[in-house]
């Protein structure tokens, strides 16, 4: 798995951002994430070595996310059942698997996101167009952190940067994210995906 994927996961392009927007509160951002049940769209991933990957992302909160990487990568990252699995078509071994709760993405995939918890947020700023929040697991800051960028009116998650436990950073930029969509539960079934890859 590339460094980003071990974290489990997309320069922020300013796409039609409002000229100015009030800084979003932690309560507003927590509420937005808790109301975000399903989402599907495209993503651009900037890896730690400067290479770029693109693909499609599926989110089904709580606890489920799927990254499908476009050719020539053709790899996949799935979170489901409390695990994260990295599928690499160039490998002859089973997918690498990690506990989801040991990755920073677990913060936004939690059943109840509460950014107001003590020692969870380590950064909260606004540049007038976006609000950026950096969060970590307050019990395990050694697991890394996730820096999220939101626009307002309406509130929308546009980007995140995951810093893993080794200090490696991966940027994911979201595009055309549609929310409230129907997503089949099978997309997050790691065992089912393993069986398909073996055939």
Tell me the β-bridge partners of 125. Answer: 132
pLDDT of residue 73: 85
Q: Read off the pLDDT band of 199 (50, 70, 90).
A: low
Alpha carbons 67 and 35: distance in angstroms, whole number? 21
Q: Where are the chain's structural domains?
A: 3-10+14-174
Alpha carbons 123 and 132: distance in angstroms, whole number? 8
Alpha carbons 197 and 69: distance in angstroms, whole number? 15
**Helices marked H in the chain — which ranges?**
3-7, 26-35, 106-109, 190-198
Alpha carbons 114 and 138: distance in angstroms, whole number? 11
The DSSP letter of residue 131 is E
The CATH number of domain 3-10+14-174 is 2.50.20.10: yes
Q: pTM score, two decimals?
A: 0.86
- Give the closest residue to 43 by CA, choosing from 32, 55, 33, 52: 55
**3-class SS of residue 36:** coil
pLDDT above 50: residue 95: yes
Q: Read off the pLDDT band of 142 (50, 70, 90).
A: very high
pLDDT of residue 14: 36
For residues 50-79, give the mean pLDDT: 94
Q: Read off the pLDDT band of 198 (50, 70, 90).
A: confident
For residue 111, report the phi and psi dihedrals to the nearest 5 degrees. -65, -35
The DSSP letter of residue 30 is H
């Amino acid at each position: 798995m590339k460094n980003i994927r071990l974290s489990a996961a997309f320069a922020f392009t300013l796409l039609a951002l409002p000229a100015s927007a009030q800084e979003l509160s932690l309560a507003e951002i927590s509420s937005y994430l808790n109301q975000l049940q399903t989402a599907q769209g495209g993503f651009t991933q900037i890896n730690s070595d400067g290479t770029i990957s693109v693909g499609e992302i599926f989110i089904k909160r709580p606890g489920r996310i799927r990254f499908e990487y476009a050719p020539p990568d053709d790899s996949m990252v799935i979170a489901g059942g409390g695990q994260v699995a990295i599928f690499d078509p160039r490998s002859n071994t089973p997918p690498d698997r990690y506990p989801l709760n040991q990755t920073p993405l677990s913060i936004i995939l939690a059943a109840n996101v509460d950014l107001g918890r003590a020692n969870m947020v380590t950064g909260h700023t606004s540049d007038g167009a976006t609000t950026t929040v950096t969060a970590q697991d307050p019990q395990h800051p050694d697991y890394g952190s996730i820096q999220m960028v939101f626009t307002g009116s309406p509130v929308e998650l546009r980007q995140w940067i995951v810093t893993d436990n080794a200090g490696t950073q991966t940027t994911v930029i979201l595009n055309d994210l549609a929310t409230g969509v129907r997503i089949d539960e099978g997309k997050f079934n790691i065992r089912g995906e393993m069986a398909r890859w073996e055939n």
